[in-house]
Structure 1
Amino acid sequence: MPSYGREVALGLDALRAAILLSEALGGGPGGGPGGGSRGPGGYGDADLAASSEDDAAERTRLIALVELARKGDSEAFGMLYDHYQPSVYRFLFYRTRSGPLAEDLTSETFFRALRSMTGFRWQGKDFGAWLMTIARNLATDHFKAGRTRLEMTTEDMGAHDDATEGPESTVLASMTNEILLEALTQLPDEQRDCLVMRFLQGMSIAETAEVLGRSDGAVKQLQLRGVRNLAKLMPDGIRGS
């Protein structure tokens, strides 16, 4: 039986809550629509450097590492890898439902990022959003190329979190979460990616918009449509579990 870490479980709880709220508002199954100054690298974009980290010191550290990495500092890029690899992997795992494939695509994401570092430009966006865009494009290209179908594996997600098996209520919650994750794979790509980033990755509207290349308003609409469509895919007895 798959097990779920606290962060994943909380994200899925939030997603279920959004489904219930959508239904309560009449949108559920069968319902109706309810160039600045030059920085150290000489790129002229230092005033646009940004990070979504809550901690100010961590924001400063990550921005400094990006500046060093795009000047060719491999150690700085390695530190960026250590920081962002878990979130990139999680996104790709939720996107593909396959650990080995997620690992391969994660490696390719950072390889492409390293190869393109000198071309990275601050545009008021988080470096992590740039990485997530690369990851999303790789996943999309992978499936479009027909190299494989979307894996609907029964792989134990305990390999990807720190949770342990609990009492019957925890096992039941895991079953519900597995149904929800599988239902996510049936959504249109953009809706699925939006919900994964917003609820499972905890990304903001602005960060999600940056990755998807959409406006904040468009992301809000994608989220709403995704939640409503997901509600239609969930068994009646599961939505409120």
Structure 2
Amino acid sequence: MVHAPSAWLLSEAAAPESTGSSASYGDGDLAASSEEDEAERTRLIALVELARGGDTEAFGLLYDHYQGAVYRFLFYRTRSVPLAEDLTSETFFRALRSMSSFRWQGKDFGAWLMTIARNLCTDHFKAGRTRLEMTTEDMGQHDDATEGPESAVLAGLTNEILLTALKQLPDEQRDCLIMRFLQGMSIAETAAVLGRSDGAIKQLQLRGVRNLAKLMPEGLRDR
């Protein structure tokens, strides 16, 4: 698994433009967090503001909070533990280098991280630096339950069948289903990452689940 932020990662925060920790960004009213607990939302927003000003300890706490979700997304995309770990580290490295220029723009910080992760994953495979590594390890530890009819389709698939089927979907459908039903992200959060409207995500989700159902073996289709 990905571990706590290393010294080399945090040391990269010493960028000249990050020195003014009391800098005014003018977009504080757009700050948003998807956490249900009000105290936790307030805490995370405050940590982001501190990290934007160059506070590496605050960034480390943000890493602790978000790295699990980023890792799981990348694991489902790559099907490789080492590659998911590498891309998770790269996601936070890039986020750290960009913290001083981060703007809320009505977007949750977690969605911003997920966008970075998704772009890195896409770039990695486009560049052809490596082939997908197949893994047969137990996926149970990575699964997040999500209620609803679509999750019933996913529940009918074994981990191996699910990963194989997801790989065959168009990129946006695959990413939508990973975020919604394996990550447990909301419609709004998924829309923010993919740059689509809530309605478009619902349609993307429906098409993805329908396509997954078509990829199910005959025995599972009848369940």
Confirm or deny a common fold (TM above 0.5): yes
**SS of 2:61's equivalent?**
helix
What amino acid is the match of 2:40? E
What do residues 122-177 of structure 1 show as CA deviations (whole Å, max 9, x unaligned)? 1121100000000000000000001122333223436757xxxxxxxxxxx89723
1:34-45 matches, within 5 Å, as 41-45=23-27
* Identical-residue share of aligned pairs (%): 86
In structure 1, C-alpha distance between the alignment counterparts of 2:142 and 2:94, rounded to whole Å: 24
Q: What stretches of structure 1 move > 4 A for 4+ residues in a row?
A: 158-161
What do residues 192-221 of structure 1 show as CA deviations (whole Å, max 9, x unaligned)? 000000111111111111101111121111
TM-score, length basis structure 2: 0.81
**SS of 1:214's equivalent?**
coil
In structure 2, C-alpha distance between the alignment counterparts of 1:194 and 1:186, rounded to whole Å: 14
What do residues 28-53 of structure 1 show as CA deviations (whole Å, max 9, x unaligned)? xxxxxxxxxxxx64111011000000
What count of residue pairs does the alignment treat as equivalent?
191
- Structure-2 residue corresponding to 1:131: 113
2:198 counterpart of 1:204: no
2:32 counterpart of 1:50: yes
Report the alpha carbon displacement of residue 239 of structure 1 after superposing the two structures with TM. 3.6
What amino acid is the match of 2:217? P
In structure 2, C-alpha distance between the alignment counterparts of 1:199 and 1:178, rounded to whole Å: 16
- Is the 1:98–1:155 Cα contact (8 Å) retained in structure 2? no
In structure 2, C-alpha distance between the alignment counterparts of 1:196 and 1:136, rounded to whole Å: 11
**SS of 1:43's equivalent?**
coil
- Structure-1 residue corresponding to 2:149: none
In structure 2, C-alpha distance between the alignment counterparts of 1:157 and 1:209, rounded to whole Å: 26
**SS of 2:158's equivalent?**
helix
Structure 2: stretches of 5+ with no match in the other structure: 1-21, 144-154
Q: Which of 130, 139, 146 is residue 148 of structure 1 equivalent to? A: 130
> Taking CA–CA contacts closer than 8 Å with sequence separation of 6 or more, which of the two structures ends up with the larger relative contact order?
1
In structure 2, C-alpha distance between the alignment counterparts of 1:46 and 1:148, rounded to whole Å: 41
Report the alpha carbon displacement of residue 223 of structure 1 after superposing the two structures with TM. 0.7
- Structure-1 residue corresponding to 2:12: none
**SS of 2:104's equivalent?**
coil
TM-score, length basis structure 1: 0.75
- Is the 1:152–1:182 Cα contact (8 Å) retained in structure 2? no
| CA RMSD, Structure 1 to Structure 2 (Å) | 1.8
2:177 counterpart of 1:195: yes
In structure 2, C-alpha distance between the alignment counterparts of 1:227 and 1:159, rounded to whole Å: 22
**SS of 1:238's equivalent?**
helix
2:93 counterpart of 1:108: no
- Structure-2 residue corresponding to 1:215: 197
Report the alpha carbon displacement of residue 94 of structure 1 after superposing the two structures with TM. 0.5
**More displaced 10-residue stretch of structure 1: 146-155 or 113-122:** 146-155
2:186 counterpart of 1:186: no
**Aligned pair in 2 of structure 1 residues 240, 210: CA closer, same or farther (>3 Å)?**
farther
- Is the 1:41–1:67 Cα contact (8 Å) retained in structure 2? no
Larger radius of gyration: 1
**Aligned pair in 2 of structure 1 residues 44, 178: CA closer, same or farther (>3 Å)?**
same
What do residues 87-127 of structure 1 show as CA deviations (whole Å, max 9, x unaligned)? 00000000101000000000000000000000100112110
2:106 counterpart of 1:99: no
**Aligned pair in 2 of structure 1 residues 158, 176: CA closer, same or farther (>3 Å)?**
closer
In structure 2, C-alpha distance between the alignment counterparts of 1:200 and 1:240, rounded to whole Å: 23
**Aligned pair in 2 of structure 1 residues 202, 240: CA closer, same or farther (>3 Å)?**
farther
What do residues 53-105 of structure 1 show as CA deviations (whole Å, max 9, x unaligned)? 00000000000000000000000000000000000000000010100000000
